[in-house]
Amino acid sequence: MNDKGKTLDAVKLSAQLLETIKKYRRLLIYIKGSPDPDAIAASYALKLLCEAQGADALIACPQEPSLPQNIRMIKDLHLPIRFKPVEDCKKHWDAYAVLDHQSVFVEGVTGVIPCAIHIDHHEQVKEEIPVDLRILIEEAGSVSTIMIFLAEALGINFNQNHWRHAATAFYYGIQTDTDDFQHAVPLDHKALEIISLYVDKTLLNRISTLPFTKEAMSFFNQALKNQILYKDWLISGIGFIEQKHRDTMGLIGDFLLKREDLKAVVVFGIVEKDSRLMLDALFRSKDEDLNLNALIKKITKEGGARKFKGAFQVNLDYFANCPDRDLLWQMVYTTTVETLKKERDEAHAFELQKLFGTIKRKVQGMFR
Ligand SMILES: [Mn+2]
What integer pLDDT is reported at residue 184 of this predicted model? 92
Dist. CA 119 → ligand 1 center (Å): 10
For the domain bounded by 3-208, which CATH number is listed? Answer: 3.90.1640.10
Cβ neighbors of 302 (< 8 A, separation 6 or more) are 312, 313, 314, 315
Q: From the CA of 206, how far away is ligand 1's center (Å)?
A: 22
**305 C-alpha to ligand 1 centroid (Å):** 10
pTM of the predicted model as reported, rounded to 2 decimal places: 0.81
Question: What's the CA-to-centroid distance between 98 and ligand 1, angstroms?
Answer: 12
CA of 233 to the centre of ligand 1 (A): 24
Query: What are the boundaries of each domain within the chain?
Result: 3-208, 214-354
- pLDDT of 168-193, one tens digit each? 999 999 999 998 898 899 999 999 99
**Separation of CA 135 and ligand 1 centre (Å):** 13
Cα 306 to ligand 1 centroid, rounded to whole Å: 9
The partner residues of 284 in beta bridges, in order of sequence, read 265, 309
3-208 and 214-354, same CATH topology: no
Q: Which fold has domain 214-354?
A: Diaminopimelate Epimerase; Chain A, domain 1 (3.10.310)
pLDDT of residue 303: 84
Would you state the pLDDT for residue 33? 85
261 Cβ contact partners less than 8 Å away, ≥ 6 residues apart = 232
Report the distance separating Cα 254 and Cα 256, nearest Å. 6
User: Which chain residues have CB less than 5 Å from ligand 1, an ion?
Assistant: 38, 100, 142, 177
Tens digits of per-residue pLDDT, 270-299? Answer: 999 888 999 999 999 988 888 888 889 888
Distance 143 CA to ligand 1 centre (A): 5
pLDDT below 50 — which residues of the chain?
1-5
Ligand 1 centre to CA of 40 (Å) is 9
